[in-house]
Chain A
Amino acid sequence: MPESSSRRRWLLRSLQASIAATLAAVFYPVVRFLRPREATSSGAQEVVAPYRPSELKPDAGRGPRPFNFGGKPCLLVLSPDGEKRLAEGQKLLDGDVKAFNAICTHLDCTVEYRPEKADIFCNCHNGVYDLNGTNISGPPPRPLEAYKVTLRGTAKPGETAKPGQEEIIVSRTT
């Protein structure tokens, strides 16, 4: 009898241990699941652009590449007013930077910003848009989809960014 009861106790203990192990195997993914993830690329409604307005200047070379916004490429351009303000070292206003869906409305190529010509150009069939995204020459049938842009002083409270170093926040208009 003592043998069988000690056997049972041993069984019970190992049972409890292995049940605990299974619970751990269950809880591990659950705990990982609960950890918040980085802001995702898809379905995003708002994103902070990886560029600052000063990188959009004509003399900064070719305009920076479109970045990912909600799974689509997003292009940033500097308006003529913005260029002026930047040159004079003044603070930029929201309308000085514009953001567009960089997919050409003709045959879906990716457009590029040409700061030296103050236009947006599609290399595939020589489509040209102006800095408001309106199609002005070539085959594109519709203007580029525009996004809303807000400029923010800085992420740190109590500080204001230098002109040209503001954060560009792009969000959907709907």
Chain B
Amino acid sequence: MRRFSRNVLCAVLLAAPVAVAASPAAEKKVPSKPAAEKKTAAKPAEPENQCILCHGDADLWEGDRRRLYVTVKDLAGDIHWEKGLRCQDCHGGNARAADIKEAPHALEDGFRSLRSIRKDTQSKDYANPPEPVRVVDLCGNCHADIDFMRRYNPSPRVDQLREYWTSGHGQRLKETGDPNVATCVSCHHKPHGSGLDTAKHAVRPVADLASPVYRTHVAETCATKCHANQELMAGRKYHDRPLGHDQYAEWGKSVHAEALLKKGDLSAPTCNNCHGNHGALPPQVGSVANACGACHGKVASLFADTVMKHQFEKLELPGCAACHGKHDVVKPTDEMLGMGGGAFCVKCHPEEENQKGHYGATIAGAETARALHADLDDLDQAIRDAKATIAKAERLGMPLPGPPSDPNLDLALYLRKAFDSQTNARVLIHSFKLPPVEASLKEGLEIASEVQQVAEGALQEYDSRRIWLAASLAPILLVILLLVLYIRTLPPSR
């Protein structure tokens, strides 16, 4: 009986895990993912839209007429198509006409009555170039009409057209009819070979990642076709200043570009943040500080109260950009301040008593600059030293107590306050006055030196380790000595 019950127990114990593993409960269900919906699939041609029947037939459009070949695929992602607008809403004509004879743009007429961005559709010349002003009128026809736009968006912007005519592009177009000037489609439509867009007739909304004017693409769009094109920009001026073609390259070096493109910070400025969107113009000399001040508020307001600002305006120097650069705004360093090499102050302020500064820059100003630089340097060095000492102590495994004012506080955390005061001071220098800067630096210096003392104290603890070492080596050496003596007393081996 005992053997039987033992066998049964063994069998049960062995079978149990097998049964559990085989049970359906052990099967894991892998959830299936729903197929991703294609957002940009264009809707098929409805019977009301017969334009596509011809214009979507590739065989009909050869050579220089290829530009008239448009398929539904080319409209994928187009915001107008998605909202229900069709060919005739922009180009006119009768889209329902199944028979070409009924369409107002019948063959005899050569489709001339349709609206187009091409110049002079009345002539029989198929290869006529696009006429920019027609584009502006075509788009503005709807986009400047609030009653129309309201249908698609309860609170639309309708001032783009008006802005455009005030911009550098618009003014030039109005005055000279320059065919190379940017119009609506230059930015909103063609991706300029960036490979963004496969749909060649699509105008995407700005928030669409594939739009040429999505935030991260704006600078590339402005640059690639026009503003970085040396031949195109040659000879062009704005108010007697040559436009040049290096802005994109310069901007690419800046912290703004790094923030926008590398760090993905969408609040970082690109061309339109300082120059405007539709009313694109370079900021006036007096307005540069306001452009920068849109984000760097504190600095701009400090600068606005200084003598420098008014001097700069009088001299037609571009405010903040005079020292920080227009497009290649890099991370500022303490070296930019002062009278040393690499500093900006020294460009106007005289270095010695007898020299005359440029534009009335004073020697007192030079002294202030020197003092500011020296003070900033002091704090920077103090913080660096304190950090290095803390690191050394940590590396050696010395325990770091808190600062005397608050022994429970972590020392590295306490040092942050010095870092905060350093940042604050670096902002305050834009007042170009010593007292506020020195007040901010004072706290930082005190904290840094406190930290340095505490960390050095911890390092000295290290010396106490050597004492421990000596103290422990003494008995060890003693034991070794005694052992050797003892060995000598042992009888020699046989």
Contact = CB atoms under 8 A, between A and B. Distances in A.
A and B touch in the complex (CB under 8 A): yes
Interface of A: 4, 7-8, 11-12, 14-15, 18-19, 21-22, 25, 41-42, 67-68, 71-73, 107-110, 123-126, 138-139, 141
Chain A interface main SS type: mixed
Chain B interface main SS type: helix
Which of B266, B412, B413, B419 neighbours the largest number of chain A CB atoms within 10 Å of its CB? Answer: B413
Interface in B405-428: 409-410, 412-413, 416-417, 419-420, 423-424, 427
B206 interface: no
Contacts of B266: 141
A27 to B, nearest CB: 11
Given A4-B489, A126-B298, 10 more contacts: A12-B486, A19-B479, A21-B478, A21-B479, A68-B409, A72-B413, A109-B420, A110-B416, A124-B424, A139-B295
A165 B486 CA distance: 70
Contacts of B413: 41, 68, 71-73
A20 to B, nearest CB: 9
Contacts of A14: 482
Interface in B382-441: 409-410, 412-413, 416-417, 419-420, 423-424, 427
B211 to A, nearest CB: 22
A109 B423 contact: yes
A15 B297 contact: no
A90 B416 CA distance: 37
A125 B486 contact: no
Contact of B479 (A7, A15, A124): A15
Interface string B296-311: 1111000000000000
A18 B482 CA distance: 9
A22 to B, nearest CB: 5
B420 A110 contact: yes
Given A15-B482, A21-B475, A71 B410 contact: yes
B334 interface: no
B265 A141 contact: yes
A68 B475 CA distance: 43
Nearest to B471: A25
Interface residues of B, number: 31
Given A107-B423, A139-B267, A11 B479 contact: no
A73 B423 CA distance: 17
Interface of B: 259, 265-267, 295-299, 409-410, 412-413, 416-417, 419-420, 423-424, 427, 471-472, 475-476, 478-479, 482-483, 485-486, 489
A68 B410 contact: yes
27 contacts: A4-B489, A11-B482, A11-B485, A11-B486, A11-B489, A18-B479, A18-B482, A19-B479, A21-B475, A21-B479, A22-B472, A25-B476, A42-B410, A71-B412, A73-B416, A109-B419, A109-B420, A109-B423, A110-B416, A110-B417, A123-B420, A124-B420, A125-B295, A125-B298, A138-B295, A139-B295, A139-B296
B416 A124 contact: no
A4 B486 CA distance: 11
Nearest to B472: A25
Contacts of A25: 471-472, 475-476
Nearest to B399: A37
A125 B427 contact: yes
A167 B475 CA distance: 51
Given A110-B416, A125-B297, A18 B267 contact: no
Contacts of A123: 420, 424
A110 B413 CA distance: 10
Contacts of B265: 141
Contacts of B423: 107, 109, 124
A30 B398 CA distance: 17
A70 B299 CA distance: 33
Contacts of A107: 423
Given A41-B410, A125-B298, A8 B489 contact: yes
B479 A22 contact: yes
Nearest to A110: B420
Contacts of B475: 18, 21-22, 25
Contacts of B420: 109-110, 123-124
A42 B390 CA distance: 15
A125 B417 contact: no
B478 to A, nearest CB: 5
Nearest to A41: B410
Contacts of B412: 71
Contacts of B482: 11, 14-15, 18
A4 B295 CA distance: 93
